[in-house]
Chains A and B, each alone.
Chain A
Amino acid sequence: MNTRCRALLAGSALLCAVFVLGACQSMGEGMAESAARARAERYAAQGNPQFSDPQLQAVVKDFEARYAVIGVDADRLGLDQGRPCPVSKATAFTVMKGMSYEAYQKIQLDIAAKVPGYTGISDPDAVRVVSLSGFCGENGPQGPAVIVGTTRDISRYRGEGYSTVTVSDTVSRIEATWAEGQRRGEQTIISIIRSAQFKETGDGQLAENIQDWDYLNEIRDAPSANYTYLVPKADGTPRYTVSFGRNPTIGTYTTTVAEHLDTRLTYTRTWQGTELLQENRMKDGQLHGWMIIHPTVYDGTQIPGRRDCYQNGELVKALECPSS
């Protein structure tokens, strides 16, 4: 074989390898996307867990009715239909976040101290509050009221060779009774979050972070919704906190029920669709007792369950794990 032929053959082989590699990657992405979409459809078809406790069951029914109307569409929360609340930016922030801007900043600094490369902040100028019903004056809502508002949170993770900035816009609808600036008793909070992701360029600017694999862009741009219900006992102390997380694009169909056993102990269960995913117990706000992750199936593969013992927030290897 002459040299020219060898060169042609070698060139053809190289091109084939490149094409095959590209095809393999594309095929792998396609399979992963198909598996993720099939999983999302499976959970969507299951519906929600149902309960024998009438209070819990009423929450599920209320959620199902609202979700059928609002879904994950922030425009259906009523922001444009409300009357502006005549509050300062600081008060608006406290109404929406449930804490002052300074307290929020302190939390972000504490996180930054523990997580290398993290910076987080909320945009004080992006806060807006309107009232759909009830009284909302200079000090915020008073008495039973329904308000809708917006916040914008910005975070950055910097590491070796990368820097990712995420801007999250949240629209929340809060139905509650306010007294002295605090929410009291029964509450329903619907929050819908949409995020945009950027990467820092070499000259310190932000550029939109577009992935070659379209599915990644799709799941990144998909809005997430969280419907939270606070159900009190007759004496006003909390009985249940129920949260429904929804993001149909990535297949999030979670239901979390936290049962407040007394003022110190909480028992929490989380379902994905109608499959019980996780159970844990808390004491004074810290994990205390067994945390159980139930077995599940992903793309035909059995994922084993596990249980870990926590005592006052600390992971402990133990055979018995008290929860009181």
Chain B
Amino acid sequence: MAADALRLLNQADGLKAAAPADPAAGFLSPTPAATIADEDYARVLRSGIPLQGIQVRDDPVAPAALDPYFEGSFKRTHHVYIGEDLVTYDKGVYAMPGQAAYVGTFTYFGQPTQTDVAFVFPKGSFVVVGKKLTPDGKAETGIYIAEDAVAGFALRFVKATPEYLADFERHHARAADAYRRQQAEAAANGGFSFGQALALGLGAAVIGGADLPGLDKMQLGQAFVSDVMGGGDGTALMSSFMGAMQGATGGESLFSGGMDFQAPGLNGMLANLMQGNGAGAGGTVGAAGNSGSGGGGAAVPAPTPAPASPGVSASAGGAGPARSESYSFSCPSGASYSIPISYRQAACGEAMKNFARVYSCNLIGDFAAAGQRCQQACGNAQCAEK
């Protein structure tokens, strides 16, 4: 039996060798070498000045060449439960070679960690607001969360609904505040203020602060408000979302070539994403592969910060000239907003403005009509251009 089994297995190995290579195998692989040393992290902790580079995490079941890695900017974050600052991810890509990549803005939430041991491994959860890229060339905008992560080990991101994010944050904030009270500590200095975040509506802040094209954020924010608040009673949340969204614009943009990646092929994927699909929620990256680390310019500039009057810029896109502008308006309540939007067709742009105004001003009676207008002009009830 053993001899037959060996013969058949050798035969099967031959078939495996002759089979065409899995196209996914080259997706963001191999894992590049880490570029950040311990002293670099120590410097960030001392100075608070952000850092850029590559950190490799260990996946015990993957060969070293396929270990997951983060490339991008790092920032200092306070971990409530160990009472110390850590260096965590800010903007960039978390790549799982051959499987998926998450590009966007990362937020870290410390979780209860055993500290009365010789080696403390901080535990926490990561939230990414951005895009998930897959080897089949697809890109999906969304919220992704990796809970119960242990420092140094692989993260498992799972798609999360805005409603779940809000619930997660509420639980996290309550637990952290309770822990702080229990530890009789003063409010954290320099770290994230959870009380403040709760007052603002942290979900809106996390989404609004993400480095995403304007319409993607607009859609996520709108989904957040309607999921969390139900029938549209979301003026305060939407306002905080809009405020955070404006504050996040400017600087290096992940999706407009503002950051140059060493991750094999990523610059090309991001460039294709912008050229082919603009700010749509379900874009296509193009064929997975290694296009090198250089280049990767973007066709559409990042949404511009709110100017005093509408500013408009246009650039060549895949299906026609894409336009980005800041739309300023006032609500019947007297509140004023300025929202970055981008579109290709003028009719869709107008529908988008109407949609933004109706939802920002919480004009409940006009919600349905705004959605219908988006559907007619853009082919999508939330004004995502087809």
Contacts and interface: CB of A to CB of B under 8 A. Distances in A.
B8 A320 contact: no
Interface string A91-135: 000000000000001001100110010011101010000000000
A307 to B, nearest CB: 13
B13 A319 contact: no
B159 A317 contact: yes
Interface string A257-286: 000000000000000000000000000000
Contact of A317 (B5, B6, B13, B161): B161
Interface stretch (B15-23, B27-35, B74-82, B286-294): B15-23
A112 B16 contact: yes
B116 interface: no
Interface in A297-324: 314-320
Contact of B159 (A121, A123, A156, A316): A316
Contacts of B15: 105, 109
Contact of B163 (A154, A198, A320): A320
B161 A319 contact: yes
A120 B159 CA distance: 33
A193 interface: no
A198 B16 contact: no
B9 A119 contact: yes
B6 A206 contact: yes
Contact of B63 (A116, A156, A317): A116
A243 B8 CA distance: 31
Which applies to chain B's interface (DSSP): helix, strand, loop or mixed? helix
B19 A167 contact: no
B160 interface: yes
B8 A154 contact: yes
Contact of B5 (A154, A315, A316): A154
A123 B4 contact: yes
Contacts of A112: 12, 16
B2 A156 contact: no
Interface in B1-58: 1-6, 8-9, 11-13, 15-16, 19, 22
A165 interface: yes
Contact of A109 (B3, B6, B19, B159): B19
A2 interface: no
Given A105-B15, A109-B16, A196-B1, A123 B158 contact: no
B163 A206 contact: no
B164 interface: yes
B22 A113 contact: yes
A205 interface: yes
Given A116-B63, A119-B16, A316 B160 contact: yes
Interface residues of B, number: 27
A205 B28 CA distance: 37
Contacts of A125: 4
Chain A CB count within 10 A is highest, among B5, B22, B158, B163, for B5
A119 B161 contact: no
B164 A317 contact: yes
B145 interface: yes
Nearest to B6: A206
A319 B9 contact: no
Contact of B9 (A116, A154, A317, A318): A154
Contacts of B145: 317
A271 B61 CA distance: 31
Contacts of B163: 318-320
A318 B164 contact: yes
A316 B16 contact: no
Contacts of B159: 314-317
Given A116-B63, A123-B4, A206-B5, A108 B12 contact: yes
Nearest to A308: B158
Contacts of B22: 113
Nearest to A320: B163
A156 B9 contact: yes
Contacts of B168: 317
A125 B1 CA distance: 12
Contacts of A165: 5-6, 9
B11 A121 contact: yes
Chain B CB count within 10 A is highest, among A105, A154, A317, A319, for A317
Contacts of B84: none
B366 interface: no
Chain B CB count within 10 A is highest, among A108, A156, A204, A319, for A319
A105 B13 CA distance: 12
B252 interface: no
Contacts of B167: 319
Interface in B117-162: 145, 147, 158-161
Contacts of A320: 161, 163
B13 A119 contact: yes
Nearest to A116: B63
Q: Which 5 A-B pairs have the closest CB atoms?
A: A317-B160, A206-B2, A121-B12, A317-B164, A318-B161
Interface of A: 105, 108-109, 112-113, 116, 119-121, 123, 125, 154, 156, 165, 167, 196, 198, 204-206, 314-320
Given A121-B8, A317-B160, 17 more contacts: A112-B12, A113-B19, A113-B22, A119-B9, A119-B12, A119-B16, A121-B9, A121-B12, A123-B4, A167-B1, A204-B6, A314-B159, A317-B158, A317-B161, A317-B164, A319-B161, A320-B163
25 contacts: A112-B12, A116-B62, A119-B12, A119-B16, A120-B12, A121-B8, A123-B4, A123-B5, A125-B4, A154-B9, A156-B9, A167-B5, A204-B6, A205-B2, A314-B159, A315-B158, A316-B161, A317-B158, A317-B160, A317-B161, A318-B160, A318-B164, A319-B161, A319-B164, A320-B161
